[in-house]
Amino acid sequence: MTQRLIVVGGDAAGMAAASQARRRRGRADLEIVAFERGHHTSYSACGIPYWISGAVEDRDELIARDPATFRSDFDIDVRLRHEVTAIDLGRREVVARDLDGGGEVRERFDDLVYATGAVPTKPDWAEDGVAGVFGVQTLDDGAALRDWLDADPAPRRAVVVGGGYIGVEMAEALIRRGLSVTLVEQADQPMSTVDEDMAALVAEAMRGIGIDIRTGTEVTGLDQRDGRVSAVVTAAGPIPADVVVLGLGVRPNVALAETAGIPLGPSGAIRVDRRMRVPGAPGVWAAGDCAESLHRVSGLPVHIPLGTHANKQGRVAGINLGGGYATFPGVVGTAVTKVCELEVGRTGLRERDAAASGFEFVSVVAESTNRAGYYPGARPMTVKLIAERSSGRLLGAQIVGWSEAAKRIDALAVALWNGMTVDEMTGLDLGYAPPYAPVWDPVLIAARKAVDALDRR
Ligand SMILES: Cc1cc2nc3c(=O)[nH]c(=O)nc-3n(C[C@H](O)[C@H](O)[C@H](O)COP(=O)(O)OP(=O)(O)OC[C@H]3O[C@@H](n4cnc5c(N)ncnc54)[C@H](O)[C@@H]3O)c2cc1C
């Protein structure tokens, strides 16, 4: 008998799962229906800041595969603008609302992939219906923001609320479009994904391109004129704004799962086993921003909502659904971003994570350059390493610097993944030529410095 797979959420994780399952099983064997409440499938939310800035001109370049391709090439029944409103695990069916046409459909499933992504944090003051306040979670959000920025007269003053990597990328995008930009952050530094000393370098670069950073500041409301935002309100006074962009982080989108009795893990995301099955809910799979991952360094379940994990997890679920065997090996928390030319990379545990996980550690910061000092364009690069005190094992790394900085974090991620000690790292055979590195690569200089620190312990 033909099996039925229902996918809830038609972006990275959901469609990776659906297409992998289809690659392994024909239509006579497996019928696939994917519900997506938005207007698009398989789009790159990661590209939104670059579309807003104008670095990417055409929105369609952000769409990896459209619904028509999924229908024609993968025989997947994609139902756009359909929101799944209930999952009945007992009756093995979902209820979906047609957001445009009205009405409801019920569909039976044998297997269900839950891939609903994450919900952006939206404070009460952003719910008041004042025009000019935007999130950037979906392509539709990005389109609404672009329309606002393209209007005549164009907005001149932007406030970005939240200094995580999305806030930082959006602040740069708006500066590039010629707006004056203020970034408001409740904490003492933007970029809390790295330690404070490294975040300070990022803040300095942001100020260097003209972004006004207000740290230790909370937005408590909005001022408006004729229904349009005119300022954000803070304890330190109003900050004028013609447009406000929210980058306040996300939480796993699990409300539907919770109501259905699909169990969550300690991180608040859906608990999964290494094949992306949900323990305690036979035939239910979860992947992407709604699911948790095992952190390979701390050993803890974590919620790290990134596209790189969503694609891999969806693929693993799809291979297993297709009758193959695949496992998701966990994460080490690698991430990269940039502020204009300044690149930022991180992997593993920050100091505060290492302390919270009970590690005793040393941390070192090494200053170097991205190229041989005599080679044109040599610029500073700062590498921070955190190593376990007793064993010398690398626990975490951060890099801030100019070109060739961000992707250097990959070498450190591989070292971390394989449990290398900083002593072993000092001998790594990394590439060297003057245009790409000094003769001692910044990573090797940092590893040597960490060994010295461990010797002095
Ligand atoms: C501005 C921005 C920049 C980013 N940059 C990066 C980056 O540089 N690198 C990186 O690794 N990650 C980045 N990310 C994160 C990355 O985009 C996400 O991790 C990834 O999209 C998660 O994929 P997903 O399929 O799990 O969830 P989503 O992409 O959120 O997709 C979930 C889908 O489910 C749909 N849905 C939800 N509920 C229902 C329902 N009840 N019924 C039907 N459909 C539903 C939603 O409409 C959505 O399309 C960025 C995100 C943003 C917003």
Which residues are paired to 161 by β-bridges? 184, 246
Average pLDDT estimate for 268-284: 98
Write the CB contacts of 242 (distance below 8 Å, at least 6 apart in sequence): 132, 155, 156, 157, 158, 228, 229, 230
For the chain, give the percent of residues with pLDDT over 70.
100
Residue nearest to atom 16 of ligand 1 (CA): 307
Run of H or E residues at 314: helix 307-321
For the chain, give the percent of residues with pLDDT over 90.
97
| Contact indicator for 248, 193 with CB cutoff of 8 Å | no
Look up tokens 């040393």; give the residue: 362
From ligand 1's centre to the CA of 119, what distance in Å? 9
- Among residues 97, 85, 114, the alpha carbon closest in space to that of 6 is found at 114
The whole-angstrom distance between residue 400's C-alpha and the CA centroid of its chain comes to 19
| Contact indicator for 188, 196 with CB cutoff of 8 Å | yes
**What are the angstrom distances between the C-alpha of 378 and each of 373, 398, 405, 445?**
6, 20, 12, 16
CA distance 185 to 166: 12
The string of pLDDT tens digits covering residues 244-258 is: 999 999 999 999 999
State phi, psi for 78 to the nearest 5 degrees.
-90, 125
- ω into 376 cis (within 30 of 0): no
User: Model-level pTM greater than 0.85?
Assistant: yes
* SS3 of residue 65 by DSSP: coil
CA distance 44 to 306: 11
From ligand 1's centre to the CA of 138, what distance in Å? 7
Residue nearest to atom 50 of ligand 1 (CA): 46
Amino acid (1-letter code) at residue 193: T
* SS3 of residue 259 by DSSP: helix
| Contact indicator for 367, 402 with CB cutoff of 8 Å | no
Amino acid (1-letter code) at residue 371: R
Angular region, 360: left φ>0, alpha ψ -120 to 50, beta rest: beta
From ligand 1's centre to the CA of 46, what distance in Å? 9
* SS3 of residue 276 by DSSP: coil
Where do the DSSP E strands lie in 253-404?
A: 284-286, 293-294, 301-302, 335-339, 342-348, 361-369, 380-388, 394-401
Angular region, 315: left φ>0, alpha ψ -120 to 50, beta rest: alpha
> Counting atoms of ligand 1 from 1, which one is nearest the CA of 120?
53
From ligand 1's centre to the CA of 44, what distance in Å? 8
Average pLDDT estimate for 323-332: 98
Would you call 46 a catalytic residue per the annotation? yes
Structure tokens at 185: 């952050």
* Model pLDDT, residue 128: 80
**What are the angstrom distances between the C-alpha of 287 and each of 113, 272, 278, 453?**
7, 8, 10, 40
Question: Which of 306, 313, 315, 407 maximizes ligand 1 atoms within 8 Å of its Cβ, making it the mutation to test the pocket?
Answer: 306
* Model pLDDT, residue 297: 97
Residue nearest to atom 35 of ligand 1 (CA): 9
Average pLDDT estimate for 185-209: 96
From ligand 1's centre to the CA of 193, what distance in Å? 19
> Counting atoms of ligand 1 from 1, which one is nearest the CA of 83?
42
Catalytic one of 24, 39, 46, 196: 46
Residue nearest to atom 53 of ligand 1 (CA): 137
Which residues are paired to 221 by β-bridges? 233
Question: Which of 6, 104, 116, 409 maximizes ligand 1 atoms within 8 Å of its Cβ, making it the mutation to test the pocket?
Answer: 116
Average pLDDT estimate for 386-393: 97
pLDDT at 316 over 80: yes
Angular region, 199: left φ>0, alpha ψ -120 to 50, beta rest: alpha
* Other CB atoms within 10 Å distance of the CB of residue 176: 17
> Counting atoms of ligand 1 from 1, which one is nearest the CA of 13?
25
Ligand 1-lining residues (CB < 6 angstroms): 8-14, 35-38, 45-46, 48-49, 83-84, 115-118, 136-137, 166, 253, 256, 288-289, 305-308, 310
From ligand 1's centre to the CA of 327, what distance in Å? 21
Look up tokens 């000094």; give the residue: 438
From ligand 1's centre to the CA of 302, what distance in Å? 17
> Counting atoms of ligand 1 from 1, which one is nearest the CA of 40?
49
> Counting atoms of ligand 1 from 1, which one is nearest the CA of 85?
41
* SS3 of residue 73 by DSSP: helix
Amino acid (1-letter code) at residue 56: V
113 vs 340, which has greater pLDDT?
113
* Model pLDDT, residue 331: 98
* String of DSSP letters for 171-225: HHHHHHTT-EEEEE-SSSSS-TTS-HHHHHHHHHHHHHTT-EEE-S--EEEEEEE
CA distance 321 to 30: 10
Which has the minimum average pLDDT: 135-139, 284-288, 327-331?
A: 135-139
Write the CB contacts of 209 (distance below 8 Å, at least 6 apart in sequence): 172, 175, 339, 340
CA distance 398 to 194: 7
CA distance 258 to 79: 23
pLDDT at 457 over 70: no
pLDDT at 393 over 80: yes
* Other CB atoms within 10 Å distance of the CB of residue 328: 21
> Counting atoms of ligand 1 from 1, which one is nearest the CA of 47?
3
CA distance 260 to 270: 12
Residue nearest to atom 15 of ligand 1 (CA): 306
Look up tokens 């169990």; give the residue: 263
* Summary mean pLDDT of the chain: 96
Average pLDDT estimate for 331-338: 97
